[in-house]
Structure 1
Amino acid sequence: MIKIPLALLNLQDDGFHLLVEVVVFDKTFKAVLDTGASKTVFDKTTIEKHIGNDELRTSDRVSTGLGTTNMESFTWLLPDFQVGDFHLKNFEVAVLDLSSINFAYENLSVDPVIGVIGGDILTQYDGIIDYGKKTLTLKKSKKK
Protein backbone atom coordinates (compact mmCIF):
# COMPACT_ATOMS: atom_id res chain seq x y z
CA MET A 1 0.00 0.00 0.00
CA ILE A 2 1.25 3.44 -0.94
CA LYS A 3 0.04 6.54 0.90
CA ILE A 4 -0.06 9.72 -1.15
CA PRO A 5 -0.60 13.18 0.37
CA LEU A 6 -3.57 15.22 -0.77
CA ALA A 7 -4.36 18.93 -0.56
CA LEU A 8 -7.91 20.10 0.12
CA LEU A 9 -8.83 23.14 -1.97
CA ASN A 10 -11.71 25.28 -0.67
CA LEU A 11 -13.69 26.59 -3.64
CA GLN A 12 -14.86 29.68 -1.72
CA ASP A 13 -17.93 28.13 -0.09
CA ASP A 14 -18.81 26.25 -3.29
CA GLY A 15 -17.40 22.91 -2.18
CA PHE A 16 -13.96 21.36 -2.18
CA HIS A 17 -11.55 19.70 -4.58
CA LEU A 18 -8.84 17.25 -3.66
CA LEU A 19 -5.52 17.95 -5.36
CA VAL A 20 -2.59 15.59 -5.72
CA GLU A 21 0.92 16.10 -7.09
CA VAL A 22 1.76 14.05 -10.17
CA VAL A 23 4.91 13.72 -12.22
CA VAL A 24 4.66 13.61 -16.02
CA PHE A 25 7.44 14.52 -18.48
CA ASP A 26 9.82 14.59 -15.47
CA LYS A 27 7.91 17.64 -14.19
CA THR A 28 5.62 18.06 -11.20
CA PHE A 29 2.02 19.15 -11.79
CA LYS A 30 -1.19 19.26 -9.78
CA ALA A 31 -4.17 17.07 -10.66
CA VAL A 32 -7.70 16.91 -9.28
CA LEU A 33 -8.70 13.66 -7.61
CA ASP A 34 -12.28 13.04 -8.76
CA THR A 35 -14.23 9.98 -7.64
CA GLY A 36 -17.03 10.95 -10.06
CA ALA A 37 -14.77 10.88 -13.11
CA SER A 38 -14.88 7.48 -14.75
CA LYS A 39 -11.51 7.87 -16.48
CA THR A 40 -8.27 9.70 -15.84
CA VAL A 41 -8.09 12.75 -18.11
CA PHE A 42 -5.24 15.06 -19.11
CA ASP A 43 -5.44 18.58 -20.48
CA LYS A 44 -4.92 18.66 -24.25
CA THR A 45 -3.20 22.06 -24.29
CA THR A 46 -0.66 21.02 -21.66
CA ILE A 47 0.00 17.62 -23.25
CA GLU A 48 0.54 19.15 -26.72
CA LYS A 49 3.35 21.30 -25.31
CA HIS A 50 5.30 18.10 -24.59
CA ILE A 51 4.35 15.62 -27.34
CA GLY A 52 3.58 15.61 -31.03
CA ASN A 53 -0.05 15.58 -32.18
CA ASP A 54 0.64 12.25 -33.88
CA GLU A 55 0.82 10.60 -30.43
CA LEU A 56 -2.83 11.42 -29.69
CA ARG A 57 -5.48 9.06 -31.04
CA THR A 58 -8.93 10.39 -31.81
CA SER A 59 -11.52 8.70 -29.65
CA ASP A 60 -14.93 7.71 -30.97
CA ARG A 61 -16.37 8.10 -27.47
CA VAL A 62 -18.36 11.22 -26.76
CA SER A 63 -17.13 12.89 -23.60
CA THR A 64 -19.71 14.38 -21.29
CA GLY A 65 -19.39 16.41 -18.16
CA LEU A 66 -17.20 19.46 -17.57
CA GLY A 67 -20.15 21.67 -18.53
CA THR A 68 -20.70 20.09 -21.95
CA THR A 69 -22.51 17.17 -23.53
CA ASN A 70 -20.24 16.83 -26.53
CA MET A 71 -16.49 17.37 -26.48
CA GLU A 72 -13.81 16.22 -28.89
CA SER A 73 -11.74 13.61 -27.10
CA PHE A 74 -8.52 11.76 -27.64
CA THR A 75 -6.60 8.98 -25.95
CA TRP A 76 -2.92 8.83 -25.20
CA LEU A 77 -0.66 6.08 -23.91
CA LEU A 78 1.14 7.80 -21.04
CA PRO A 79 4.63 6.24 -20.93
CA ASP A 80 5.45 7.08 -17.31
CA PHE A 81 3.14 8.50 -14.67
CA GLN A 82 3.87 9.03 -11.00
CA VAL A 83 1.49 9.92 -8.18
CA GLY A 84 3.52 10.18 -4.98
CA ASP A 85 5.54 6.95 -4.83
CA PHE A 86 2.97 5.18 -7.05
CA HIS A 87 4.19 4.55 -10.63
CA LEU A 88 2.28 3.54 -13.73
CA LYS A 89 3.87 2.68 -17.07
CA ASN A 90 2.04 2.78 -20.42
CA PHE A 91 -1.30 3.83 -18.93
CA GLU A 92 -4.01 4.96 -21.35
CA VAL A 93 -5.65 8.27 -20.45
CA ALA A 94 -8.28 10.43 -22.08
CA VAL A 95 -7.14 13.80 -23.39
CA LEU A 96 -9.65 16.66 -23.39
CA ASP A 97 -9.75 20.43 -23.33
CA LEU A 98 -9.72 21.23 -19.60
CA SER A 99 -9.49 25.00 -20.11
CA SER A 100 -12.81 25.56 -18.32
CA ILE A 101 -11.43 23.97 -15.14
CA ASN A 102 -8.18 25.90 -15.39
CA PHE A 103 -10.03 29.15 -16.07
CA ALA A 104 -12.11 28.62 -12.92
CA TYR A 105 -8.94 27.89 -10.93
CA GLU A 106 -7.28 31.01 -12.34
CA ASN A 107 -10.24 33.06 -11.05
CA LEU A 108 -9.56 31.58 -7.59
CA SER A 109 -5.82 32.38 -7.90
CA VAL A 110 -5.03 28.65 -8.00
CA ASP A 111 -2.39 27.16 -10.30
CA PRO A 112 -3.72 25.22 -13.30
CA VAL A 113 -3.98 21.43 -13.22
CA ILE A 114 -2.68 18.95 -15.76
CA GLY A 115 -5.66 16.70 -15.36
CA VAL A 116 -8.09 14.65 -13.34
CA ILE A 117 -7.31 11.36 -11.62
CA GLY A 118 -10.44 9.29 -12.09
CA GLY A 119 -12.20 6.14 -11.07
CA ASP A 120 -10.16 3.94 -13.41
CA ILE A 121 -7.08 4.27 -11.19
CA LEU A 122 -9.09 4.35 -7.96
CA THR A 123 -10.93 1.10 -8.72
CA GLN A 124 -8.04 -0.79 -10.34
CA TYR A 125 -5.69 -0.06 -7.43
CA ASP A 126 -8.25 -0.14 -4.56
CA GLY A 127 -8.03 3.57 -3.81
CA ILE A 128 -8.94 4.70 -0.31
CA ILE A 129 -9.37 8.42 0.38
CA ASP A 130 -8.96 9.57 3.98
CA TYR A 131 -10.25 13.13 4.20
CA GLY A 132 -9.19 13.48 7.84
CA LYS A 133 -5.58 12.55 7.15
CA LYS A 134 -5.69 14.02 3.62
CA THR A 135 -4.23 10.90 2.05
CA LEU A 136 -4.95 8.63 -0.88
CA THR A 137 -3.91 5.00 -0.43
CA LEU A 138 -3.34 2.81 -3.50
CA LYS A 139 -2.25 -0.82 -3.77
CA LYS A 140 1.03 -1.35 -5.59
CA SER A 141 -0.45 -3.84 -8.06
CA LYS A 142 -3.61 -3.87 -10.10
CA LYS A 143 -6.43 -5.91 -8.66
CA LYS A 144 -7.28 -9.02 -10.58
Structure 2
Amino acid sequence: MTKHTIPLQILDLHDDGFHPIIDVTLYGNSFKLVLDTGASKTAFDKTLLAEANADALISATDKLSTGLGTNSMESYTAIITDLYIGDLKIDEFEVAVLDLSTINIAYEQMAHPQVLGVLGGDILMKYQAIIDYGKKRLVLKVS
Protein backbone atom coordinates (compact mmCIF):
# COMPACT_ATOMS: atom_id res chain seq x y z
CA MET A 1 0.00 0.00 0.00
CA THR A 2 1.32 3.40 -1.00
CA LYS A 3 0.52 6.48 1.07
CA HIS A 4 0.43 9.96 -0.39
CA THR A 5 0.66 12.87 2.05
CA ILE A 6 -0.75 16.21 0.95
CA PRO A 7 -0.38 19.43 2.97
CA LEU A 8 -3.60 21.01 4.25
CA GLN A 9 -4.22 24.71 4.54
CA ILE A 10 -6.87 25.62 7.08
CA LEU A 11 -8.94 28.66 6.12
CA ASP A 12 -10.48 30.61 8.97
CA LEU A 13 -13.96 31.66 7.90
CA HIS A 14 -14.14 34.43 10.51
CA ASP A 15 -16.57 33.17 13.17
CA ASP A 16 -18.14 30.68 10.75
CA GLY A 17 -15.76 27.74 11.18
CA PHE A 18 -12.86 26.47 9.13
CA HIS A 19 -12.35 24.92 5.71
CA PRO A 20 -9.49 22.49 4.99
CA ILE A 21 -8.00 23.27 1.56
CA ILE A 22 -5.61 21.30 -0.65
CA ASP A 23 -3.68 22.22 -3.78
CA VAL A 24 -4.36 20.13 -6.87
CA THR A 25 -3.32 20.16 -10.51
CA LEU A 26 -5.95 19.79 -13.21
CA TYR A 27 -4.94 19.76 -16.87
CA GLY A 28 -1.62 21.34 -15.91
CA ASN A 29 -3.25 24.21 -13.96
CA SER A 30 -3.00 24.71 -10.19
CA PHE A 31 -6.20 25.01 -8.18
CA LYS A 32 -7.45 24.75 -4.62
CA LEU A 33 -10.14 22.33 -3.45
CA VAL A 34 -12.08 22.33 -0.20
CA LEU A 35 -12.12 18.95 1.56
CA ASP A 36 -15.81 18.31 2.16
CA THR A 37 -16.61 15.14 4.06
CA GLY A 38 -20.30 16.06 3.84
CA ALA A 39 -20.28 16.12 0.04
CA SER A 40 -21.12 12.72 -1.38
CA LYS A 41 -19.47 13.58 -4.70
CA THR A 42 -16.60 15.76 -5.84
CA ALA A 43 -17.87 18.93 -7.52
CA PHE A 44 -16.10 21.52 -9.67
CA ASP A 45 -17.07 25.03 -10.68
CA LYS A 46 -18.33 25.12 -14.26
CA THR A 47 -16.50 28.32 -15.24
CA LEU A 48 -13.14 27.33 -13.75
CA LEU A 49 -13.33 23.83 -15.25
CA ALA A 50 -14.00 25.29 -18.70
CA GLU A 51 -11.06 27.69 -18.25
CA ALA A 52 -8.77 24.80 -17.22
CA ASN A 53 -9.73 22.74 -20.25
CA ALA A 54 -11.84 24.27 -22.99
CA ASP A 55 -12.28 20.77 -24.42
CA ALA A 56 -13.79 19.37 -21.21
CA LEU A 57 -17.01 17.61 -22.07
CA ILE A 58 -19.55 19.05 -19.64
CA SER A 59 -22.89 17.26 -19.91
CA ALA A 60 -26.23 18.43 -18.58
CA THR A 61 -27.96 16.13 -16.13
CA ASP A 62 -31.58 16.01 -15.04
CA LYS A 63 -30.55 15.75 -11.39
CA LEU A 64 -30.95 18.77 -9.14
CA SER A 65 -28.07 19.28 -6.77
CA THR A 66 -28.87 19.72 -3.11
CA GLY A 67 -26.79 21.42 -0.52
CA LEU A 68 -24.82 24.63 -0.96
CA GLY A 69 -27.84 26.49 0.39
CA THR A 70 -30.25 25.41 -2.34
CA ASN A 71 -32.06 22.37 -3.67
CA SER A 72 -32.62 23.63 -7.18
CA MET A 73 -29.16 24.30 -8.61
CA GLU A 74 -28.62 23.30 -12.24
CA SER A 75 -26.26 20.38 -12.35
CA TYR A 76 -23.87 19.04 -14.97
CA THR A 77 -21.27 16.29 -14.99
CA ALA A 78 -17.85 15.86 -16.54
CA ILE A 79 -15.35 13.03 -16.81
CA ILE A 80 -12.00 14.09 -15.35
CA THR A 81 -8.86 12.35 -16.59
CA ASP A 82 -5.98 14.54 -15.46
CA LEU A 83 -6.31 15.39 -11.76
CA TYR A 84 -3.31 15.21 -9.47
CA ILE A 85 -3.54 15.49 -5.70
CA GLY A 86 0.08 15.89 -4.72
CA ASP A 87 1.88 13.24 -6.76
CA LEU A 88 -1.18 10.96 -6.85
CA LYS A 89 -2.90 10.83 -10.25
CA ILE A 90 -6.58 10.22 -9.71
CA ASP A 91 -8.05 7.67 -12.11
CA GLU A 92 -10.72 8.77 -14.55
CA PHE A 93 -13.82 9.72 -12.60
CA GLU A 94 -17.03 11.70 -12.90
CA VAL A 95 -17.52 15.01 -11.10
CA ALA A 96 -20.58 17.12 -10.56
CA VAL A 97 -20.21 20.48 -12.30
CA LEU A 98 -22.00 23.40 -10.69
CA ASP A 99 -21.99 27.19 -10.56
CA LEU A 100 -19.90 27.78 -7.45
CA SER A 101 -19.38 31.49 -8.08
CA THR A 102 -21.22 32.48 -4.89
CA ILE A 103 -18.71 30.49 -2.82
CA ASN A 104 -15.79 32.17 -4.56
CA ILE A 105 -17.36 35.61 -4.10
CA ALA A 106 -17.69 34.91 -0.37
CA TYR A 107 -14.09 33.67 -0.23
CA GLU A 108 -12.90 36.78 -2.05
CA GLN A 109 -14.70 39.01 0.48
CA MET A 110 -12.73 37.24 3.23
CA ALA A 111 -9.46 37.65 1.27
CA HIS A 112 -9.23 33.91 0.58
CA PRO A 113 -8.21 32.42 -2.79
CA GLN A 114 -10.86 31.05 -5.13
CA VAL A 115 -11.49 27.32 -5.19
CA LEU A 116 -12.14 24.96 -8.08
CA GLY A 117 -14.67 23.11 -5.95
CA VAL A 118 -14.93 20.43 -3.32
CA LEU A 119 -13.22 17.08 -2.92
CA GLY A 120 -16.05 14.84 -1.79
CA GLY A 121 -16.70 11.46 -0.26
CA ASP A 122 -16.30 9.60 -3.55
CA ILE A 123 -12.55 10.29 -3.68
CA LEU A 124 -12.03 10.44 0.09
CA MET A 125 -13.58 6.97 0.50
CA LYS A 126 -11.88 5.39 -2.53
CA TYR A 127 -8.44 6.46 -1.31
CA GLN A 128 -9.14 5.78 2.41
CA ALA A 129 -8.51 9.41 3.34
CA ILE A 130 -7.14 10.40 6.70
CA ILE A 131 -7.61 14.08 7.46
CA ASP A 132 -5.23 15.22 10.20
CA TYR A 133 -6.09 18.74 11.33
CA GLY A 134 -3.36 18.74 13.97
CA LYS A 135 -0.57 17.97 11.52
CA LYS A 136 -2.34 19.82 8.70
CA ARG A 137 -2.19 16.98 6.23
CA LEU A 138 -4.34 14.70 4.13
CA VAL A 139 -3.19 11.11 3.65
CA LEU A 140 -4.53 9.11 0.69
CA LYS A 141 -3.85 5.39 0.29
CA VAL A 142 -3.51 3.33 -2.87
CA SER A 143 -3.71 -0.45 -2.58
- TM class by shorter chain equals over 0.9
Q: Tell me, what secondary structure is at the counterpart of 1:104?
A: helix
- In the alignment, structure 1 segments of 5+ residues that lack a partner are none
Deviation at 1:3, TM superposition (A): 1.0
Moved over 4 A (4+): none
Deviation at 1:60, TM superposition (A): 2.1
> 1:3 maps to which residue?
5
- In the alignment, structure 2 segments of 5+ residues that lack a partner are none
- What is the letter of the counterpart of residue 32 of structure 1? V
> 1:118 maps to which residue?
120
Aligned equivalents of 1:100 and 1:20: distance in 2? 20
Structure-2-length-normalised TM-score: 0.93
1:27 pairs, out of 22, 26, 29, with 29
1:36 pairs, out of 33, 38, 54, with 38
> 2:142 maps to which residue?
140
> 1:90 maps to which residue?
92
> Does the CA contact (< 8 Å) of 1:66 and 1:100 recur in 2?
no
- What is the letter of the counterpart of residue 20 of structure 1? I
> 1:15 maps to which residue?
17
Deviation at 1:130, TM superposition (A): 0.6
Q: Tell me, what secondary structure is at the counterpart of 2:90?
A: strand
Structure-1-length-normalised TM-score: 0.92
1:36-59: CA deviations, max 9, x gaps? Answer: 111000000111223247x11111
Aligned equivalents of 1:122 and 1:90: distance in 2? 15
> Does the CA contact (< 8 Å) of 1:30 and 1:113 recur in 2?
yes
- What is the letter of the counterpart of residue 22 of structure 2? V
> RMSD over aligned Cα, in angstroms?
1.2
> 1:104 maps to which residue?
106
> 2:64 maps to which residue?
62
